[in-house]
Amino acid sequence: MRTSRTLGMVMIAPAAIMIFLFYLMPVVLTAIFAMTNMSTATGISGGAWQVTASAVNRLKTTLPELANGIAEPRFVIDEDGLKELEALKLKPGFATELRAQHIGGVYPSRREAERDIKALKDRPNTREVKQISDIFNRSVLNTRFESRDALMTSLDKLGFKLTPEQQQIVSDATYTGWVWTSENFSTIANSPDMLQILINTGIYVAVTLTLFNVTYALFLAVTTHYMPSNTASVFRAIWLLPRITPVVIYILLWKWMTWDNGFISLFLAQFGVPPKNYLLDSAYNAWFFVILINGFIGASMGMLVFSSAIKAIPQTQFHASEVDGASRWQQIRYIILPQLRWPILFVTCYQTLSLLASFQEIHLSTRGGPGKSTEVWSLAAFHTALNNYTGNLEYGLGAAMALVLVVVGLVLSLIYLRVFRYDTLISKPLIED
Amino acid sequence: MRILLDKFSKSFGTTSVIEDMNLEVGSGEMLALLGPSGCGKSTTLFAICGIHRPTAGRILFGDRDVTNLPSQERNVGVVFQSYALYPHMTVEENIGFPLTVRRVAASDIKKQVAGIAALVHIDNLLDRKPSQLSGGQQQRVALARALIRRPDVLLLDEPLANLDAKLRLEMRSEIRRLQKETGITAILVTHDQVEAMSMCDRIAIMKSGEIVQVATPSQMYQDPRTAFVAGFLGNPPISFLKGKAAHGAFVSTDGKLQMTLPALSGIADGTALTLGIRPEHFGTAGNVPVEGKVTFAETQGRENLYDVVLPDGSVIRSIQPVRDDVTLGDQVRWGIDSKSAFVFAEDGTRL
């Protein structure tokens, strides 16, 4: 038996279970939710069948006659109504005569029903006519049915004879719960808002990643590499602050700096510049700060990864390259950078995904504003599904947006692996099983 | 090109490694810096190539003072102990690197690399990465990289330490051949006396940051200035006997061995002395007989090696042509060649 392989499985099992529960399951659930139209309106459990005004509107295109009929009140002389009438203890003749003469009678309007009631031999007065006709009102408008059959039975009693296909149409139109649908994706594909958010996200990720998370991090790592170790430690520690400061406090510091009575405004006031909120006064400024806020956090991570990778290059290679005549710049270009390919791939990949997925910094600083100018995909998904100004939380649509994010992340990772030629970076395991 | 170290000193923080060292290496000469580990020989080498800056003193290449020049401007080729090949470059790129950083045209680089690769016999490996090479091949690549830009000075930092015995032998003559062919001034740092003696024109032997003696290998072998030098050179190593001076002769501690030596004529009686006897000068042909017991016998094919314990417990090594009449535990009476014996004072200086 290949014991090492079995042992490997045993050792990886806890991690595998965690990955399944906390990474795979959320993705699967997101995919499931994405295929529904769940929202605050539909709820997440089952629904009921209700002929609302909007349901009638929906029916008007396919079944106009039925829609008009359903919207009107309907009066039916049935046994249930007669029993109720008897219980009212009005003149017993009313019920007797209605049962004898009109049982099963269906009136499309109150006027017609009341004409027959007025004609009863016991002559009900106007108030009684109203009372009696109300009892026989069998309108389905705004009535809630707990099951589809109840709705259909009721419609049948009212004289709407429906084919099974028509029944299905009515059922779909009146159902208030969530249903399976792929509409979320067509909504995403066709909405100009979504396109704008996608463009925002692309710019945000690309600019932050290239300027800060990789380039600036590389710059920090290389410059601190050439510094005396104590100085380098101080610089690295300073650049770690944005990452180790709790994010709420970190953002608050930025707000203090950019508010209309914040540091920038106070400073510029010395030169007669009127104060303003630099964070939110224009889309350009909002983007400027959003990218700085995220970039400062991202740069430290890249700096640490790149610094340790540079440290791992044997000192003699630097000595050798100096002796070979390489300048500092040539050392960076020919010795350091080529050996940082794997860390750069890792940081690019990791930071793309974390920039795509994380929205807390934007949510805390600009909330996607001003307007929706700094709204990025993950923030939009959060707003759609979980935190919405209008109050109708569209879980299904939000889940669909999140799923798009997962797919984009996966595709990007695969592209990175190809671009950086991952297969050449990994070596075969030294231990054979 | 001549290399001159003039009162060169180097310290790291408060630790002084080398103080006031003077050394001259003639143009086209190959010199070995020989010494035990930690004696400062690599520090000296790194100072010559500019990786370390001297704390005091001057370093001259020819008549040019390079003391404060960075390595990039010194035109030295260095072969590091670990070879320091760039793992992400092919052999061709590695060898061509010194030219690449000088912006030599790619076609020129290719031509020169091909030439130098042929010289060190690795022209069939140019497309490989260093990790795909054996130790000896990596060594040759490092050598080619050091030589390609025709350096004024070639520095070799224990270049053979990582090779197996056979390859070491081969590369020894290879490096010497290249050095002679190119006529380059070279310094070899090593702790292996065989390497130093077989490859170099002269040897500078170092001990705790100081040069003890500079001489040609044979001079140094035959005329060591101190007991340290005598003990460092020679394989199997020299044997030392403790004793005293008495009437112009060396007398061993128990008085059984007496040897009149011209070097002792002016020495006061009772001075503590050490007698150094090389293994080849103790055997059947010697003129001063010594009696002892064989405690170690080994044949090396052509020669036999014996350890003889004297009655006072000291050991003398002997190397003799193969014979099979002496075995372990035998009592022998062999002679020391008194003309070739060295006598040292208590502080190690030769008398």
What's the pLDDT band for A294 if we cut at 50, 70, 90?
very high
What mean pLDDT do residues A294-306 have? Answer: 91
What tokens appear for B44 in the block?
A: 């000296």
Tell me how far apart the terminal alpha carbons of chain A are, to the nearest angstrom. Answer: 10
- Interface of A to B at Cβ within 8 Å reads 314, 316-317, 319-327, 330, 334-335, 338-339, 341
Q: Does domain B3-232 have CATH number 3.40.50.300?
A: yes
Backbone torsion region of residue B7, taken as left when φ is above 0, otherwise alpha when ψ lies between -120 and 50, otherwise beta: left
pLDDT tens, residue by residue, A311-338: 999 999 999 999 998 899 999 999 999 9
pLDDT tens, residue by residue, A227-279: 998 999 999 999 999 889 999 999 999 999 988 888 888 888 889 888 888 88
Tell me the nearest-neighbour CA distance from A330 into chain B, angstroms.
7
What's the pLDDT band for A425 if we cut at 50, 70, 90?
low
How many other β-carbons are positioned within 10 Å of the β-carbon of residue B85? 24
Nearest residue on chain B to A425, alpha-carbon basis: B88
CATH of B239-345, one of 3.40.50.620, 2.60.40.10, 2.40.128.20, 2.40.50.140: 2.40.50.140
Q: Which of A131, A100, A89, A91 is nearest to A114 (CA)?
A: A131
Tell me the nearest-neighbour CA distance from A415 into chain B, angstroms.
23
Is the pLDDT at A100 greater than 90? The verdict is: no
In the block, residue with structure tokens 């997101």: A30
Confidence at residue B79, expressed as pLDDT on a 0 to 100 scale: 92
Confidence at residue A2, expressed as pLDDT on a 0 to 100 scale: 65
* Ranges of H-type helices in B192-314: 193-199, 217-222, 227-232
What mean pLDDT do residues A136-142 have? Answer: 74
- What residues does each domain of chain A span? 1-26, 49-174, 188-425
- B69 part of contact set with chain A, CB < 8 Å: no
pLDDT tens, residue by residue, A390-412: 778 888 889 999 999 889 888 98
Contact check, Cβ <8 Å, A324/B50 = no
Q: What is the ipTM of this complex?
A: 0.82
Task: Measure the CA–CA gap between B278 and B280, rounded to whole angstroms.
Answer: 6
pLDDT tens, residue by residue, B211-220: 999 999 999 9
What tokens appear for B51 in the block?
A: 């990786």
pLDDT tens, residue by residue, B5-60: 988 999 888 888 888 899 999 999 999 999 888 888 889 999 998 988 899 999 99
How many other β-carbons are positioned within 10 Å of the β-carbon of residue B223? 13
Confidence at residue A16, expressed as pLDDT on a 0 to 100 scale: 93
Is the pLDDT at A207 greater than 80? The verdict is: yes
Confidence at residue B19, expressed as pLDDT on a 0 to 100 scale: 86
What mean pLDDT do residues B79-85 have? Answer: 90
Confidence at residue A429, expressed as pLDDT on a 0 to 100 scale: 67
Contact check, Cβ <8 Å, B51/A319 = yes
Nearest residue, CB atoms, B145 vs list A314, A324, A335: A324
Tell me the nearest-neighbour CA distance from A228 into chain B, angstroms.
14
With contacts defined as CB-CB under 8 Å, which chain A residues touch B71?
A: 319, 322-323, 325
Task: Measure the CA–CA gap between B185 and B77, rounded to whole angstroms.
Answer: 10
More confident residue, B260 or A109: B260
Is the pLDDT at A422 greater than 80? The verdict is: no
Is the pLDDT at A3 greater than 80? The verdict is: no
pLDDT tens, residue by residue, B165-211: 888 888 888 889 888 888 899 999 998 888 888 899 999 999 888 89
Is the pLDDT at A223 greater than 90? The verdict is: yes
What's the pLDDT band for A124 if we cut at 50, 70, 90?
confident
- What residues does each domain of chain B span? 3-232, 239-345
Task: Measure the CA–CA gap between B4 and B112, rounded to whole angstroms.
Answer: 30
Backbone torsion region of residue A92, taken as left when φ is above 0, otherwise alpha when ψ lies between -120 and 50, otherwise beta: alpha
CATH number for the domain whose boundaries are A188-425: 1.10.3720.10
> Could you give the angle at the alpha carbon of B101 between the alpha carbons of B95 and B104, nearest 5°?
85
Nearest residue, CB atoms, B101 vs list A316, A324, A339: A324
